Amino acid sequence: MVLGFLGLEPVAEAVYGALLQHPQADLSELLAATRLPEAAVRAALDDLADLAFVRPSRDTPGGLRVVSPQIALDLMVRRQEAELARRAQELAASKAAAAEAVAAFGSLAPNTAVNGAERLVGLDAIAAKLELLAKELRDECLSVMPGGAQSQASLDASRPLDADALGRGVTVLTLYQDSVRNDLATHAYAHWLTDNGGEVRTAPLLPPRMLIFDREVAVVPVDPTNTKAGALCTREPGIVASLVAVYEQAWATAVPLGAATTRDTGSGLTAAERELLTLLATGMTDEAAAKRLGIGLRTVRRQMAALMERLGASSRFEAGLKAAQRGWL
């Protein structure tokens, strides 16, 4: 399925291919060419019309004319880019709302519960709470694990909890950063999750670390930039709903672990390279960009040097300018 990654269903792709080979084909000829049921071909033609892969014919009233792949694919990619931009705006709004709500609980006394919210300070307190929540877990666990490679201690602590949940048929969805593909331990753990029924996706940038249990309880850092501030465990419906929205939007744009991180056909950039350019174009330092992307400082500098060479730029400012001129940003 060549066009499946752009959202075109297999039946619609088969009908489109038949039309490209036989532009004047009528319904009966399409049925013969595709060997598909009439209802399926008619539904595929409706889908192709909605996607502008076919348009009304001026020569044949009531007929259709097939649109060239170059034009059709360009329109499809542009629609997807617009949808991604919309999702990015929604994600930013949800993240801001969630961060504001979480910050409001930052003044809670450590390890005391107030109105369904508890501020956890210390690794032991956090571990004890996660063990309890994992035991109570019924249906679904959503997690975001930013920062690239995870520590061996963190992976060792997570394995029994994940194994128990997966063994009970709980849905386990995990988001890692793309850079974990280069870390043997974290990559192996992610594969272990998928082999045992979990689902793992990766993205260049992620929301702050979070765990959401049955869409009812969430555990998030009080301050993502200061781990000593502890974590917030909350059952507040408004906060949990905002965090679920952040998670779903991040999940929708992430790539399944087994899939390759593809390059943009227009710019030749990977998603990680585009994010790096975007971060540095906003004035972020190499050190801060490396932390956000979960990769090493040397990797950031090496990737940026390669991008500057491709752009023919002699400075970061010039690279940002040329990237914007080419539509890379």
Q: What's the rounded Cα separation, in Å, for the pair 34 and 14?
A: 7
Q: pTM of the predicted model, to two decimals?
A: 0.55
Residues 6+ apart with CB under 8 A from 175: 143, 144, 145, 200, 201, 202, 203, 206, 247, 250, 251, 254
Strand 117-120 with 231-234, pairing: antiparallel
Q: What is the DSSP string of 91-134?
A: HHHHHHHHHHHHHTTTTSPBT-EETTEEEE-SHHHHHHHHHHHH
What's the DSSP call for residue 36? -
List pLDDT tens digits, range 10-52. Answer: 888 888 888 888 888 888 888 888 888 888 888 888 888 887 7
Burial degree of 137 (CB within 10 A; 0-12, 13-18, 19+): buried
Q: Does residue 18 contact residue 51 with C-beta atoms inside 8 Å?
A: no
Question: Given CA atoms 8, 10, 12, 14 in this order, what sign does their dihedral have?
Answer: positive
Q: Label the pairing between strands 54-56 and 210-213.
A: unpaired
Q: Is residue 260 over pLDDT 80?
A: no
Please list the residues that pair with 270 across neighbouring strands: 263
- Rg of the chain over Cα atoms, rounded to whole angstroms, equals 24
Highest mean pLDDT among 105-109, 192-196, 259-263: 192-196
* Higher per-residue confidence, 99 vs 301: 301
Residues in the chain: 329
pLDDT given for residue 5 in this prediction: 44
Say yes or no to pLDDT of 2 above 90: no
Q: What residues contact 306, with CB distance under 8 A and at least 6 apart? A: none
Question: Residue 239 pLDDT > 60, yes or no?
Answer: yes
**pLDDT, position 32:** 86
Tell the residue number behind the tokens 């400012």, with chain if given: 317
Confidence bin at 278 (pLDDT 50/70/90): confident
Structural domains of the chain in order of their starting residue, each with its CATH number: 4-67 (1.10.10.10), 82-256 (3.30.870.10), 271-325 (1.10.10.10)
- Alpha carbon distance 108, 110 (integer Å): 6
Tell me what pLDDT residue 215 has: 94
| Cβ atoms 249, 85 nearer than 8 A | no
Q: Containing H/E element for 202?
A: strand 199-203
Spatial CA neighbour of 139 closest among 194, 214, 198, 212: 214
Amino acid at 303: Q
- Token digits of residue 155: 């992976």
The DSSP code for 173 is E
The per-residue pLDDT for 13 is 83
Q: Which residues pair with 210 in a beta bridge?
A: 144
How remote is the C-alpha of 200 from its chain's centroid? 10
CA atoms within 13 A on the CB side of 273: 20
Place of tokens 């060419």: 33
Is residue 117 predicted with pLDDT exceeding 70?
yes
pLDDT at residue 155 in the model = 87
Instruction: Classify 188 as helix, strand or coil.
Output: helix
pLDDT band at 174; cut points 50, 70, 90: very high
